[in-house]
Structure 1
């Protein structure tokens, strides 16, 4: 196993507690080992010893992809991680060259891009990260343990630890409540975070919240992967659009299988029976997903999940912060899962925290939340902005938004005829390029030229190096 040791700041804090042993919590724990003598990771679940779904991560059964930016971030935090992921069976793919992308019904031009992403189940990603973190000096992982609340100094301006209790029947036994002293507590417990309740109990102000209705229902099922499937491609993505609030994706992952997800919004709900799933897939632009459902052997039962809204908590706008308390990952901002940004955003926040800790620990909550807000801006813009394309979604739309939407609609069509436009679109989606890159003068000119060559929705003019 590759060493994760790296130079870091002097250890000014003796003990840090991370709530949540998911991707966000494990990434944060890795960073804190540079600044703290001890790090304790706490999770409600009894953590599995092999990759397996768990109750605390209900989305763990659904299709997951590690975006190009997320792969770089996790390799920065855990050198060699993506090599280890591939060795465990995950797929490594050129995002544009090894997959079909249907944007507004147009199939994007397929060509090598150098944008490398990975297909792996969420349990596999967590298992490998958890093993890395558990091997670090000074780290302890306590599973089957519930966090009851925060312990604070008498003036309630700073935390002093967390109150915990072993869950009945868990590996930690049946001992009663105890307080773990800590200099720093990071809540990375996901969408079920109780941070707002804890702050309210201590009399601290609560952050404003932005909520964008997503109204997503998605169903994932896994199938045996054969060499003839997809002509050897690694994946397919069909992105829903106004007038077609349906989508889907399939992706090669470990154990020689494909994960297939069908997605619906605003009343469109994928079924879970064989005939219904096939009929739903046949209604999508492009034949790929339906063809796989017809020919591949299913390996499990379909699993359905609902996601009502993307939610962002604006801690950066608070005038007063609780000393020693941070919030990260989905507990800070959760995105429509159709965009696949969660793991990437979490890893980026951990890298940001490492940079801030290296600069010192004074006023850390204010500094972290302000910097994290800037880091979250791009994925939030992509997810919330994508959902606001749908007229069913409530939200503020300025006069320029209509013009921008019309341009991006033409852009998606043009990306079927121009490999550069297709690459830039995917680079933005994978957070490797800023969204403004889509509107650069050179790209505007390409859109005007290529849009005339693009086929109608659903055809995508199958232009690739092998078939033009």
Structure 2
């Protein structure tokens, strides 16, 4: 069966029914005649359940304030929907126990930001349910897109194989690629005479191991994010441990290591690895919680940027989310970048350029690239320093930037202004250039105003959890450090 682009309002085809795809549909629905989302999974769950084609959902996910506000702008009320479904809204910085490369962050500063913490399946399900209710949006499942149709001047639709194994051509005025890290659109563009799109890869070889725990009694709600970061200056593999509170009174725990320091998939080694990070706080907490799942590993974590905005891409094509820029998940920016890209897409549509016009797609590609710039710089600016990283090593400018960033992080252990500015950037609310303002430069030069902490700042309730007898005893070679 062959369909042609509509003669009236633009027809949009979105490739991928995950978070990026559904947000793209929400962004364009008010300005299109029809939005068709094509998804390879045969069935999209009607509840917060796992999807076969989303293996990274088994790992801890956070949605920083900038990303959450972007989704809220597209789907008003969605944050309340997440919270009603069991997600947590965690205030930042006082809701985070974080051991930075320069020491422990304080929690006594007033909250200025937040993040949403929940299982990825729940976050996606709430958004998908809202998008399915939008007029002019349809989601078609069980179809595999195999290429684009068109030529070097315009993309005119897609080729697909349907659930019965038959080939179809689906016409479109605009195709949005939201197929994630596995996107093949750069090849598909070449297949129709389009350009070679330049690509940069920075791969620190990060491997994730994640597991769910039943939170100890009293720790089911109002529990902070617990994060022990790696130190990229240490010239050894970067090990990271994170606890996030999620729905149903559970902790979602993710451990990660760069090339040469990867965690194992073995259940019995999970907590041993947590003791190898720079501080054993996460391991001590896990010893007092009950594991309720096995360990799941994930290793497709390279930073990859495709410069669609710099190529002479045919009209009628845009890439969004991981299909354009995929990031090391340790920084927690993937979902937020997809949401900010969708907001950029809507802003271009609201500017009244027809969705089918070359000017719209060209401007949208540039706007999406701008929305990812801060997250890309944060990720590759750290990952390039880890041993064995694949891709261009740190330049002189990178090294200067890393030294300045470390001074900022050190200042943030005792300076509230620097905490706010760093969190503005980390939460993707503000561009990285705010870190070069006069007040921030002076604060970096002067250093922290308060003496460094000698351990994590914990509440009485948090210390009470740690004071309980552990449910499991560490192996002798991992029990040599305490809190």
Which TM-score applies when normalising by structure 1?
Answer: 0.89
1:345 counterpart residue number? 337
**How far is 1:300 from its partner?**
0.9
Cα RMSD (Å): 2.4
**How far is 1:370 from its partner?**
1.8
The reply to whether residue 303 of structure 1 matches residue 296 of structure 2 is yes
The reply to whether residue 199 of structure 1 matches residue 197 of structure 2 is no
**How far is 1:272 from its partner?**
3.4
Give the secondary structure class of the aligned counterpart of 2:161: strand
**Match runs of 1:16-415 below 5 Å:** 16-46=12-42, 47-104=44-101, 106-110=103-107, 111-152=109-150, 156-167=152-163, 174=164, 176-229=166-219, 232-242=222-232, 243=234, 245-318=238-311, 320-359=312-351, 360-361=353-354, 362-363=357-358, 364-390=360-386, 392-393=388-389, 394-395=391-392, 397-415=394-412
CA distance in 1, matches of 2:177, 2:220: 41
Higher mean C-alpha displacement, 17-26 vs 97-106: 97-106
Higher mean C-alpha displacement, 53-62 vs 392-401: 392-401
Query: Is 2:381–2:402's contact at 8 Å kept on the other side of the alignment?
Result: no
**Match runs of 1:404-443 below 5 Å:** 404-443=401-440
CA distance in 2, matches of 1:403, 1:460: 29
Higher mean C-alpha displacement, 85-94 vs 377-386: 377-386
CA distance in 2, matches of 1:123, 1:336: 19
Specify whether residues 222 and 185 from structure 1 end up closer, same or farther in structure 2 by C-alpha distance, changes over 3 A only.
same
CA distance in 1, matches of 2:404, 2:174: 46
CA distance in 1, matches of 2:10, 2:308: 25
Give the secondary structure class of the aligned counterpart of 2:70: helix
Query: Is 1:414–1:454's contact at 8 Å kept on the other side of the alignment?
Result: no
Alpha-carbon displacement from aligned partner over 1:279-299 (angstroms, at most 9, x marks no partner): 221222334311221011111
**How far is 1:181 from its partner?**
2.0
1:171 counterpart residue number? none
Give the secondary structure class of the aligned counterpart of 2:156: strand
CA distance in 1, matches of 2:336, 2:227: 18
CA distance in 2, matches of 1:159, 1:402: 42
CA distance in 2, matches of 1:425, 1:389: 20
CA distance in 1, matches of 2:371, 2:10: 28
Q: Which runs of 5+ in 2 are unaligned?
A: 1-6, 463-483
Specify whether residues 434 and 367 from structure 1 end up closer, same or farther in structure 2 by C-alpha distance, changes over 3 A only.
closer
CA distance in 2, matches of 1:59, 1:231: 24
Q: Which runs of 5+ in 1 are unaligned?
A: 1-10, 168-173
Specify whether residues 324 and 250 from structure 1 end up closer, same or farther in structure 2 by C-alpha distance, changes over 3 A only.
same
Query: Is 2:143–2:160's contact at 8 Å kept on the other side of the alignment?
Result: yes
Query: Is 1:69–1:432's contact at 8 Å kept on the other side of the alignment?
Result: yes
**How far is 1:230 from its partner?**
9.5
Which TM-score applies when normalising by structure 2?
Answer: 0.86
**How far is 1:465 from its partner?**
12
Higher mean C-alpha displacement, 223-232 vs 347-356: 223-232
CA distance in 2, matches of 1:326, 1:434: 23
Aligned residues: 446
**How far is 1:252 from its partner?**
0.6
**How far is 1:436 from its partner?**
2.8
CA distance in 1, matches of 2:285, 2:22: 35
Specify whether residues 240 and 410 from structure 1 end up closer, same or farther in structure 2 by C-alpha distance, changes over 3 A only.
same
Query: Is 1:416–1:463's contact at 8 Å kept on the other side of the alignment?
Result: no
